[in-house]
Amino acid sequence: MQTSVASLRKTLFVLIACTACSFSSLAQKAVPELWGQRVHDEAHILKAETVDQLEKDLASYEDSTSNQIAILIIQSLEGEVLEDFSIKVAEKWKLGSKKNDNGVLLLIAVDDHKMRIEVGQGLEGALTDAHSNRIIRNEMAPEFRRGDYDAGVLAAIISIKAAIRGEYAAEDASNNLDDMDPTTKWIIAGVIFLFLGIFAGVGLFSDGVMTWILYAFLTPFYAVFLGLMFSWWIFGGYLIVYPLLRLWIAKSGKKLLKWESASGGSGGSSSGSGWSSGGSSWSSSSSSSSSSSFSGGGGSFGGGGSSGSW
């Protein structure tokens, strides 16, 4: 009797474990088959002509370089971690040759507003994490925010190929403030202006030459944060308004901050100095005939690349 109960318990345990494993596997997002296509637009965000253009372009690129680039666009990650799902796709598709590991996967999750460039081990030296990050940040994200997915994906592929050729810089020579999220931009500007405003206030109410020393000191900072981030007209306003306010404060007879040395004399250069006051278009995708022979070459991936969002 005891043997039967023990056997029943073991059977129930196995059944529960199998059921749990089944539910776990069902909960994980399935990786689509390659089906001889380089472009998989499961979210249908690209125009049909864009898909055809990409298929032909990537096939031609593989013929001339042996590098394999594939694109997967999904509606949602469905709870999966972007990097984990990306490596699962790359490992299943085995992009790139087994000898060179020269494959690249561009993964986009539309509802999650996330994307990733997964780079095969053989291309990590050319298409670095810094390159991938810049491509996502500069080429894809701005277009995606405007709803132009076609332009973003096309720009990304052009830049990926340029980076592999050594013709794409890892960092910008110019600033990227125009592509910055407006909310982030205003938060950063608010913090900066708070500190600059404190110094400007001290300068406006300082007595003697110190007010103009602070005016000159603050000018380059306002040039960067007012001129570059917003408008050179605003910076010009600062250059004019500051002296006018200072003259008005002086004429109004308001008490000014006096800078004194440790010995009690006026001046601002003494080591003991201080101050005191006197008071897109939606379309289903299609594959071109050139993709019918496409298949992963057995390349491997080691987690190189970069992720981003828009």
Mean pLDDT over 59-65 rounds to 96
Residue range 56-74: average pLDDT? Answer: 96
Least confident of 56-65, 186-195, 250-259: 250-259
Q: Looking at residue 46, what is its pLDDT?
A: 97
User: Pick from 2, 266, 308, 299: which is nearest to 124 by CA?
Assistant: 299
Taking domain 30-175+286-309, whether its CATH number is 3.40.50.12500 is answered by no
For residues 161-179, average pLDDT? 73
Distance CA 44, CA 153 (A): 13
Q: What is the spatial distance between Cα 157 and Cα 53, in angstroms, rounded to a whole number?
A: 11
Q: Where does residue 83 rank: exposed (0-12), middle (13-18), buried (19+ CB within 10 A)? A: middle
Give pLDDT, residue 129: 93
Q: Is the pLDDT of residue 257 over 90?
A: no
Q: d(Cα 202, Cα 237) in Å, to the nearest integer? A: 19
Would you list the domain boundaries of the chain? 30-175+286-309, 182-277
Confidence (pLDDT) at 268: 42
- pLDDT for 210 equals 76
pTM comes to: 0.56
Distances (CA, A) of 263 to 57, 255, 260, 273: 78, 22, 8, 9
Q: Mean pLDDT for the chain? A: 77
Helices 232-251, 210-222: axis angle to 10 degrees equals 160
Of 59 and 291, more confident: 59
Q: Average pLDDT, stretch 75-86?
A: 93
Average pLDDT of the segment spanning 237-255: 77
Which range (70-84, 108-122, 151-165, 257-271) has the least confidence? 257-271
User: Long-range contacts of range 190-194, CB-CB < 8 Å, 24 or more positions apart?
Assistant: 192/225, 193/225
Share of the chain above pLDDT 90, in %: 39
List CB contacts of 62: < 8 A, sequence separation 6 or more: 68, 69, 294
- Host H or E run for residue 195: helix 182-204
Residue type, 305: G
CB 239 within 8 A of CB 219: yes
Work out the percent of the chain whose per-residue pLDDT is above 70: 69
Q: What is the pLDDT of residue 298?
A: 72
pLDDT digits (tens, 9 = 90+) for 275-307: 444 444 444 444 444 445 677 767 678 777 888
pLDDT at 181: 61
The whole-number average pLDDT for the span 81-88 is 93
Band of residue 241 on the pLDDT scale cut at 50, 70, 90: confident
pLDDT, tens digit (0-9, with 9 covering 90-100), for 202-239? 777 777 777 788 778 878 877 776 666 666 776 777 78
